[in-house]
Amino acid sequence: MRDVAIVGVGMTRFGELWETSLRDLFVQAASDALHSARADHLEAVFIGNMSAGQFVGQEHLGPLLVDHLGMVGVAAGRVESACASGGLALRTAFVEVASGMSDLVMAAGVEKMTDTADVTEVLATASDQELEAYHGITFPGLYAMIARAHMEKHGTTEEDLSWVSVKNHRHGALNPKAQFPAEVTLEAVMRSSMVADPLRLLHCSPVSDGAAAVLLCPLDQAKQYTDRPVRIRASGLATGTMALADRKDIAVLDAVQRSAQRAFTMAGLTPADMHLAEVHDCFAIAEICCVEALGLVAPGTGKSAARTGETALGGRIPVNTSGGLKAKGHPVGATGIAQAIELVEQLRGEAGARQVRGARIGLAQNMGGSGASSVVHIFEGS
Ligand code: COA
């Protein structure tokens, strides 16, 4: 396998972008990525997207989106793994370059969620239809059950959940591309309206539109495109059971553990080598479970990591410096690529007010559904 680097990035603002269509969101992000690498051609494009068919009635995204990019003929296709679609698109592009199949490849992600009133139902199609969705449960409900299990097992409190939101909004306030670039107080989180007990509005990621794109090439060709390539050291992909009912312990995200183990083994690194991480905080409890499953904190200690500042900017292992899904937004198919972009900017020293000083190695973890799929990538700056 060849070593692979990210050499260009592009991303729209995330939010309720009424004025911009799905195709225009993609074209904005993809053009910016090409421009940032001074590249005028591509060999392949992999587009992470959960459900454009249900959100905006559009399937067959590969040819449509490269046509609108002005690149008819380029190999292109959609990649799907629910909210981990972006992460899976990145892995697919990584393998395409590492294998020697192509030399310049785009991994992109796009989702336009705010055009439909049925967002919750569309998202619920990524849960087990027979065991979960048909009975009326939605993603906030599934994560609420995970939260209750974590509370029961580890004594996690509503206040612990709320500190995750306070931290991520504090980070998001420093990110001009975030959907909610504003701080929130602990009291505001704890008094926000109840969505699925114990999860309140400000414990949830929002419904978002947005797109993100990165360009990959072999590391030994990277200098053609940028002075500051970021190497992808490893990619780990894993699955777990779809239905929570089939898990031994729903407070443990075993697909996240497996994907992390695979990535750490491939990189020859350990969680202690990470300088920062972007993790899948679709709900506050998800960040707590993910930092534990990734080994960034000891099992059962995730509940206090945001409150003590361990996972905040300036802390031992800053998590979700972008604002995470909570504050930056969660256009589901784009999220995995946006996480990679935060890592690239951090490892290049270009993250401005969010910069983690001395950051050289970091990981991104993107998750589908209630943890049934997980992708971890490890990045290293040059
Ligand atoms: N965080 C902060 N503010 C939010 C928000 C969020 N997650 N969601 C909505 N808001 C704000 C809106 O901007 C709006 O503010 P305004 O009145 O100042 O304009 C207000 O709250 C009400 O928004 P609305 O769209 O009516 O909220 P809603 O009740 O329809 O939806 C949720 C709120 C939490 C149910 C929705 O955001 C949601 O379903 N999130 C989870 C998405 C999800 O499951 N993703 C997949 C994960 S696996």
pLDDT tens for residues 186-234?
Answer: 999 999 999 999 999 999 999 999 999 999 999 999 999 999 999 999 9
330 is catalytic: yes
**Are 201 and 106 members of one domain?**
no
**Are 248 and 295 members of one domain?**
yes
Q: What is the 3-state secondary structure (H, E, C) of 267-307?
A: HCCCHHHCCEEECCCCEHHHHHHHHHHCCCCCCCCHHHHHH
180 lines ligand 1 (CB under 6 A): yes
Average pLDDT value for the chain:
98
DSSP SS3 for 120: helix
Eight-state DSSP code of residue 204: B
Confidence band of 122 (pLDDT split at 50, 70, 90): very high
Domain boundary among 191, 224, 257: 224
Mean pLDDT of 278-286: 98
Mean pLDDT of 257-272: 98
**Are 218 and 171 members of one domain?**
no
Q: Could you read off the pLDDT of 294-305 as tens digits, one per residue?
A: 999 998 999 999
Which of 165, 201, 289 best tests ligand 1's pocket when mutated (most atoms within 8 Å of CB)?
A: 201
Read off the CATH number of the domain in which 262 is found: 3.40.47.10
Distance from the Cα of residue 266 to its chain's centroid: 20
**Are 288 and 304 members of one domain?**
yes
Residue span of the structural domain in which 291 resides: 119-205+233-381
**Are 153 and 92 members of one domain?**
no
Q: Model's pTM, two decimal places? A: 0.98
Going from the C-alpha of 59 to that of each of 51, 77, 85, 133, the distances in angstroms are: 8, 11, 15, 23
Mean pLDDT of 345-369: 98
**Are 21 and 132 members of one domain?**
no
**Are 143 and 211 members of one domain?**
no
What's the gap in Å between 257 CA and the centre of ligand 1? 29
11 lines ligand 1 (CB under 6 A): no
379 lines ligand 1 (CB under 6 A): no
- Tally the domains of the chain: 2
**Are 157 and 239 members of one domain?**
yes
Confidence band of 263 (pLDDT split at 50, 70, 90): very high
**Are 161 and 288 members of one domain?**
yes
pLDDT in the model for residue 150: 98
**Are 124 and 45 members of one domain?**
no
**Are 107 and 181 members of one domain?**
no
Which of 191, 204, 326, 328 best tests ligand 1's pocket when mutated (most atoms within 8 Å of CB)?
A: 204
**Are 270 and 330 members of one domain?**
yes
